[in-house]
Amino acid sequence: MITYRKADITDIPQLVHLRLQFLKEIYPKADVSQDEILKTHLREYLTEHLSKNSFVNWFADSEGKVVASAGIVFYNQPPLYHNLEGKVAYILNVYTLPAFRRKGIAKILLQKLIDEAKTRNTGKVSLHTSDDGRLLYEQFGFVAGDNEMTCQLPRVQ
């Protein structure tokens, strides 16, 4: 049986672990030599933002073990015509352990994140997706945009 729960500060080790699993799957050629630094920064981020409720994460548990996770970051941007309050959110880390995929778990987690965004009167929710996740997100009304550009800036030492 799968149960669902919102993460709290005590879940930070599990959140860090799942984030690293997710990143290694998404970026299989990434330089993992910086994992310890990444873990430290993740712990700092999660401690701050879980406490402020600006980051919310839901877990799916099976027999006491976390088998899936999904997070959402809330922030503000300057208001604009289609988002007069400037409330925005970004969904990330929608990750299910391989043995538990294709069972509808991610769909339930995503619904919980969308419900949280609606409760907060969030005007815009965005995410990035893999090809595997595209159909799920489209079921919730997400559409691919064509005008976003990104730039990866070098890390300052």
List the domains of the chain with CATH numbers. 2-139 (3.40.630.30)
Cα–Cα distance list, 78 to 34, 82, 95, 132, 148 (Å): 34, 11, 31, 33, 17
Angle at 76 between CA 105 and CA 57, to 5 degrees: 25
Q: How confident is the model at residue 153 (pLDDT cuts 50, 70, 90)?
A: confident
Position 103 confidence tier, pLDDT thresholds 50, 70, 90: very high
Average pLDDT over residues 64-91: 95
pLDDT in tens, 19-42: 999 999 999 999 999 999 999 999
Give the other-Cβ count within 10 Å of 128's Cβ. 12
pTM score: 0.90
End-to-end CA distance of the chain: 47
**DSSP percent split of the chain into helix, strand, coil, nearest 5:** 40, 25, 35
CA distance 144 to 128: 9
Which DSSP state fits 140? T
* Phi and psi at residue 75, to the nearest 5°: -155, 175
